[in-house]
Amino acid sequence: MCDSLEWLEADACREAPQAAPEVLRRLHDAAYIGALKSASELGRVSPEQRERYRFGTMENPLFPGLFERAASTVGGSILAAQLALEGKVAFHPAGGTHHGKRDRASGFCYFNDPAFAVLTFLDAGLERVLYVDVDAHHGDGVFEAFAGDDRVACVSIHENDRWPNTGSAGEQDPRTLNVSVPWGVTDDEYNVVMEQLVLPFATRFSPQALVVTCGADALHGDPLSKMELSNGALWRAVLQLVEAVPASVVVGGGGYNPWTTVRCWAGLWGLLSGREFPSELPQHARTLLEGFDSDLVDEDEMEPFWRDSLADPPMPGGTRPEVVELCKEIAGVHGL
């Protein structure tokens, strides 16, 4: 999509390198790395591996090139942080595997690439790195990776009562901000969360670098959440954060509606790189969108603008009392 809009000049792109096993071992168990590599090469998983490491399941499937893909996702996030340290804003949409655990796969995530981006900033000597997760699902793997590390502050805005069922409003500490929003959250409510909680928390922490996981599954029309955001709300949230921090990495994340996901991430790249949006998509871009298919999205659920525009119409709706109370409760805990 970015290529069809002529937004990918040669000097704007880098190829993600594959992280070597010794690099992966900084955050992942050696036995797990070896088992995943072996299973990927053999094309099969033993019952013992499936039980212990949780891959080879419907949630974490085995497929050709799995290890190379997962390791390159990590390599891309490391490279993105290195580029950000040079003063660039780096966008790595294939990243965002924020559920990956030290010794097992989780939620389509085999390694935890956002955590490697954070680690790259810390290796450079930075002392305040902010991680913000706007995926519909809580960024549990990254939170676990840096629990107790005062150099890292973690923020997650995610849907309440949604897998992995972590990050409740009661899970707060001076370096952790969890905002579990109710089902049906709208642009208006998201803006309130950003203005009253996330931005004040970030300002007080005064980060030297930022990693954002921008999952597209928080958007209206995604089959794996009940959030009702426009892509404009996510774009605004990411840009507000990036504009306030010297070095920024933005990675992808979840997204289970191909039309909303591609348009969200393409538009995000356009905004991050200062592109001019076309008044209407060129025919080859519309042809690309028209060629998508998904077993998770029924034809009667399709929105006309998914095929002919990058930007969604706004999803207003006011602010419900439960969102007001949630913000008040969390702000009180953090003194915001």
pLDDT at 25: 98
In this structure, what DSSP letter does residue 125 have?
T
pLDDT at 207: 98
What is the set of domains in the chain, with CATH numbers? Answer: 10-334 (3.40.800.20)
pLDDT at 280: 85
The residue assigned the tokens 């009562």 is 161
Q: How many residues in total does the chain contain?
A: 336
- Check 92, 98, 99, 220 and give the catalytic one: 99
Q: Consecutive sets of 10 residues in the chain, 336 residues long: mean pLDDT of each?
A: 93 95 98 97 96 97 97 98 96 98 98 98 98 98 97 98 96 97 98 98 98 98 97 98 97 98 98 92 94 94 94 95 98 97
How far apart CA 242 and CA 162 sit, in angstroms, is 27
Would residue 98 show up in a list of annotated catalytic residues for this protein?
no
Structure tokens at 183: 């089902």
| Alpha carbon of residue 322 to chain centroid | 25
Task: From 63, 141, 133, select the one nearest 99 (Cα to Cα).
Answer: 141
pLDDT at 199: 98
Alpha helices in the chain (DSSP H): 21-24, 30-42, 47-53, 66-85, 113-123, 140-145, 187-193, 199-205, 231-242, 258-272, 283-290, 321-334
Does the CA dihedral 60-54-96-166 come out positive or negative?
positive
Q: Does the pTM exceed 0.95?
A: yes
